[in-house]
Amino acid sequence: MLANNRLVPYFANQGAIGLCLAYGETGDARYLTAAYRWLDWYAAHLNADGTVFDYTRTGGVLTSDGTYDSTDSYGATFASAVRTCHRASGDDSSARARMPAVSRAVSAILLTYQPDGLTFATPTYPMKYLQDNVEVFVGLTDAAALATAFGSAVDANDWASRAHRTLQAIDGLLFVTSASRYAWALNGASLESTPGQWYPDTMGQLMAIAQLPRTSRSASLYASVRLQSFNVPASLTSDLDAEYADWWGLAAKAAGDATTVASITSAFEAMNWTGVLLRTPADYARVIELLAR
């Protein structure tokens, strides 16, 4: 588990997505207010190039680490958080006010956006990860939708075009035809694939199934990965059990596997929520997304 004195914007962005989904389900304004507070914090801590650093909390004081785990996914998940909040709230003025921050977040994605449509994790770490690029596709799509909503046609067209190119690259460059599954990374000219390993391989397959457009390929991928690697226990008694369950639940939901969704939903409903603390805000957000209508 991550230490509780760490602030990782990537996870917090996803936490904000969960809060806005919860607001959409319940109408409880506290959730929307909390999400807005996070979005404002992120916007206020953007670096000149659109990146945001991780922070450490010591004695009640946050101090920048001067580093980040990625530049592409941080920016992408921020754009997705802004759009999720806009869709849940219908608050045009709030979303419009955050468009400069969205634009700067997209600039962080573009720091490592390559001619083939894939991104590197950071400018100094040239790995093209499946998970990062799935989030880039979603984030650029969300940014383009926001730009369209608020009359920024040039940005909308550019970001939508880049999102499409990323999707094509994921399916064309990261899919291992001989194995009928995605590689979890492209390292130079080498595709990294470790079937049977939970992270980053199986989790990466589930993210692609859950977040990319549904196709006959994704349906076949879900069926094969479920047959080979399904690992959700009937009773969720640890944070790792819950991580397995939230990822499998979202993939099953996207694939239309209602039986598996119902089983995992029941497991979460029966879980001891005070005894099992999930690993990150992103895990809570995925559970909310699974349970949302």
Token pair for residue 235?
Answer: 């009773």
| Domain encompassing residue 4 | 1-191
Last residue of a domain, one of 155, 176, 191: 191
Predicted TM-score of the model (pTM)? 0.97
Mean pLDDT of 16-28: 98
164 and 237 housed in the same domain: no
Is pLDDT above 50 for 143?
yes
Which DSSP string corresponds to 190-247?
EEE--TT-IIIIIHHHHHHHHHSPP-HHHHHHHHHHHHHH----SS--SHHHHHHHHH
pLDDT digits (tens, 9 = 90+) for 2-21: 456 899 999 999 999 999 99
Last residue of a domain, one of 163, 191, 219: 191
201 and 235 housed in the same domain: yes
Q: What percent of the chain has pLDDT over 70?
A: 99
Is pLDDT above 90 for 1?
no
| Phi/psi of residue 5, nearest 5 degrees | -105, 20
CATH number for the domain harbouring residue 107: 1.50.10.10
As a whole number, the mean pLDDT across the chain is 97
60 and 155 housed in the same domain: yes
pLDDT digits (tens, 9 = 90+) for 175-200: 999 999 999 999 999 999 999 999 99
182 and 72 housed in the same domain: yes
> What residue type is 273 in one-letter code?
W
Question: So what's the pLDDT on residue 120?
Answer: 98
Q: Any idea what the Cα angle at residue 112 is, between residues 167 and 14, rounded to 5°?
A: 65
> Mapping DSSP to helix (H, G, I), strand (E, B) and coil, where does residue 181 land?
strand
173 and 263 housed in the same domain: no
Last residue of a domain, one of 191, 207, 237: 191
Cα-based distances in Å from 119 to 10, 19, 256: 16, 28, 30
Measured CA to CA, the distance from residue 95 to residue 79 in angstroms comes to: 10
Question: So what's the pLDDT on residue 36?
Answer: 98
Conformational region of residue 50, where left means phi above 0, alpha means psi within -120 to 50, and beta covers everything else: left
180 and 199 housed in the same domain: no
Mean pLDDT of 219-229: 98
176 and 123 housed in the same domain: yes
Query: What is the total count of domains within the chain?
Result: 2
Measured CA to CA, the distance from residue 75 to residue 107 in angstroms comes to: 8
Contact between 170 and 218 under an 8 Å Cβ cutoff? The reply is no
172 and 225 housed in the same domain: no
202 and 139 housed in the same domain: no
Token pair for residue 249?
Answer: 């639940």
Mean pLDDT of 71-79: 98
51 and 148 housed in the same domain: yes
165 and 206 housed in the same domain: no
Beta bridge partners of 125: 122
201 and 88 housed in the same domain: no
Mean pLDDT of 56-71: 95
Residues contacting residue 72 through CB under 8 Å, at least 6 positions apart: 108, 109, 111, 112, 113, 119, 120, 121, 122, 132, 133, 135, 136
Contact between 17 and 84 under an 8 Å Cβ cutoff? The reply is yes
